[in-house]
Amino acid sequence: MLITIIAVSLVLGGLIFFHELGHFAVARSLGMGVSTFSLGFGPKILKRTWGKTEYALSLVPLGGYVALVGEQEDSELPEGFTREESFSLRPAWQRLLVVAAGPVANMLLAWLLCWILAFGWGTPLLLPQVGGLVENGPAAKAGVQAGDTIVRIDGQPIVAWDDMTRAIARSNGQPLSVELERPHKAAPNGAEGAAGEDGTPTDATSGQDSPPPSIMTVEIRPEMSVRKTIFGEDEKAWLVGIRNTGAVRLVQHGFWGSAAAGASQASDMLALTWKSFVKLVERVVPLDQVGGPIMIMQMVGKQAHEGIAGLLALAALISINLGVLNLLPIPVLDGGQIVFCLWEMIFRRPVNARVQEYAMRAGLALLVALMLLATYNDLWRIVKSAGWFGSGS
């Protein structure tokens, strides 16, 4: 329990800190005043003033805020600040930069975490190994067996499972020349795998070194079939009827190579997260899949007990989600404020104050509704897993 509490505090606190740091850093770089930088909401537990800004740790950890001087035109300026430092009196493009800096900071944090993962642990590469076959599928008819490794397709080297799927997709149903590597079969008595004194694998029936894997070439004609996407949708694709083993190889990188690999991983997370939000709006992903703070805490706690690498990867994914969520065009979120700034930049006048007020109320109501839905889903999952209403299966 203690490990979970510490992990949740560090992960959520770190993500919120970086988000608010983005707002703070850009505001200060543009000469805007910041009266308070708080990690958390509600009563302040700890606080200290450096320069003109009060830095605080507040009681409720689910959030944070940067109090900019003169956020509204009629706001009174705190003592020690001037009108030149007022946020509302700055050009729309400067206000847009400050507002957008929070989500951008979350994206940068995700990249840094992926960079650390790539440098410290490497990036996982799903191997093109056959774990199972569809009965009477193209691969099974061609003689492919579980345990085979795809080495080449039409003469092109296949290093990862993605290389193979892309080659099959490009085939448009034309026959493919597939080179396979088949491991040496175990002896009937199951004694295969013994080793000689030097560690070389031997065949237990003869005492000799095991023969190397067999290399063979087969011809496979992909078929147009229907498969499920990760969102549960049906999609048509050229398939050969094989499943992977799930085996991965960790690819090691140098310092700058890790930066590029981390950027690639972070961009994949961003694309998947954005698509998830789109599918949620399209009702492809059901609303009962929406999770809130309770589910996040459970996931963080689980990963904290399984290892630091998984925890860092989860933190990167949550950071991406936090950034994308804040970019949604809901007035109380950063995305809504960005829309207001863009309107002002395009039409040379701010959005009507009353329109902004009603939009903020509607946005707040929507955000509260989403939080209640997420919390309800979290609690209902706990109830079902406890088996209070059946087995929970």
Collapsing DSSP to helix, strand or coil, 309 comes out as helix
Q: Which of 313, 320, 310 is nearest to 19 (CA)?
A: 320
Place of tokens 């991965």: 248
Q: Residue 175: pLDDT above 90?
A: yes
Exposure string of 177-188, with b = 16+ CB inside 10 Å and e = fewer, is ebbbbbbeeeee
Collapsing DSSP to helix, strand or coil, 182 comes out as strand
- Per-residue model confidence (pLDDT) at position 211: 75
Which DSSP string corresponds to 6-39? HHHHHHHHHHHHHHHHHHHHHHHHTT--EEEEEE
Tokens of 17: 């800190």
Collapsing DSSP to helix, strand or coil, 41 comes out as strand
pLDDT one-digit tens code per residue, 223-257:
999 888 888 888 899 999 999 999 999 999 999 99
- Per-residue model confidence (pLDDT) at position 325: 92
- Per-residue model confidence (pLDDT) at position 391: 46
Residue 322 CA to residue 347 CA, distance in Å, equals: 30
190: left (phi over 0), alpha (psi -120 to 50) or beta: left
What's the mean pLDDT in 5-16?
A: 88
Q: What angle do CA 83, 18, 274 make, to 5 degrees?
A: 110
* Active site amino acids: 20
Q: Residue 197: pLDDT above 70?
A: no
Q: What is the DSSP letter of 318?
A: H
Q: Which of 78, 72, 69, 44 is nearest to 58 (CA)?
A: 44
Assign 56 a pLDDT band (cuts: 50, 70, 90): very high
**C-alpha dist (Å) from residue 70 to 62, 83, 86, 99:** 25, 8, 5, 14
Assign 378 a pLDDT band (cuts: 50, 70, 90): confident
- Per-residue model confidence (pLDDT) at position 389: 55
pLDDT one-digit tens code per residue, 281-314:
888 888 888 888 888 888 998 898 888 999 999 9
**C-alpha dist (Å) from residue 303 to 235, 300, 310, 386:** 32, 5, 6, 21
Burial of 232 (0-12, 13-18, 19+ CB in 10 A): exposed
Tokens of 107: 């994206």
Beta-carbon-side half-sphere exposure of residue 334 (alpha carbons within 13 Å): 24
Q: Are strands 214-220 and 176-182 parallel, antiparallel or unpaired?
A: antiparallel
What's the mean pLDDT in 54-61?
A: 86
- Per-residue model confidence (pLDDT) at position 13: 87
- Per-residue model confidence (pLDDT) at position 188: 53
Assign 77 a pLDDT band (cuts: 50, 70, 90): confident
- Per-residue model confidence (pLDDT) at position 393: 40
Assign 384 a pLDDT band (cuts: 50, 70, 90): confident
Q: Which of 258, 260, 22 is nearest to 120 (CA)?
A: 258
Assign 209 a pLDDT band (cuts: 50, 70, 90): low
Place of tokens 């900071």: 105
Q: Are 62 and 45 within 8 A, CB to CB?
A: no
Name the β-bridge partners of 249.
125
Residue 22 CA to residue 323 CA, distance in Å, equals: 11
